[in-house]
Amino acid sequence: MIVVILPGTGPVELTVTTLPFWQPFPLLPGGAGPHPVTGSGELLATAHQVCVLVLVHPGFGGTHRPDGLAGIPALAELYSGLIELLGLQDVTVIGNSIGGWITAEIALPRSPTAC
């Protein structure tokens, strides 16, 4: 369990399963939760000797979701905070279904002048 603190929301507990090795690849599952993507994460981890972080979105699988954590941009901010908290750099985030949407939001520039 990792806790990320979001401004305006407060602490959010994240359930993270770490698969072996260390070049980190956060894996954001779709609406069915982590079970459908865990096999792919294990294959990626072992075939390329990388670390895969299989996440559980807050509110999924019986986990707590704070009231202030609503919407895809908020989840993107949460996972960006996790990446920062873990001190990860040069990270490839992999998303499936709604996790892909969140991944796209993470990749968007946060500048108010961005197009």
Question: Could you give the count of Cα atoms lying within 13 Å of 65 in the half-sphere of its Cβ?
Answer: 13
pTM of the model: 0.76
Q: How confident is the model at residue 113 (pLDDT cuts 50, 70, 90)?
A: low
Q: Which helix (H) or strand (E) holds 37?
A: helix 35-48
Contact assessment for residue 90 and residue 31, using Cβ atoms and an 8 Å cutoff: no
The label of the residue with tokens 């490839």 reads 92
Name 28's bridge partners. 95
Q: Average pLDDT in the 57-64 region?
A: 90
66-92: per-residue pLDDT in tens?
A: 988 999 999 999 999 999 988 888 889
Query: How big is the CA angle at 65 (ends 69 and 26), to the nearest 5 degrees?
Result: 80
Question: What domains sit in the chain, N to C, each tagged with a CATH number?
Answer: 2-107 (3.40.50.1820)
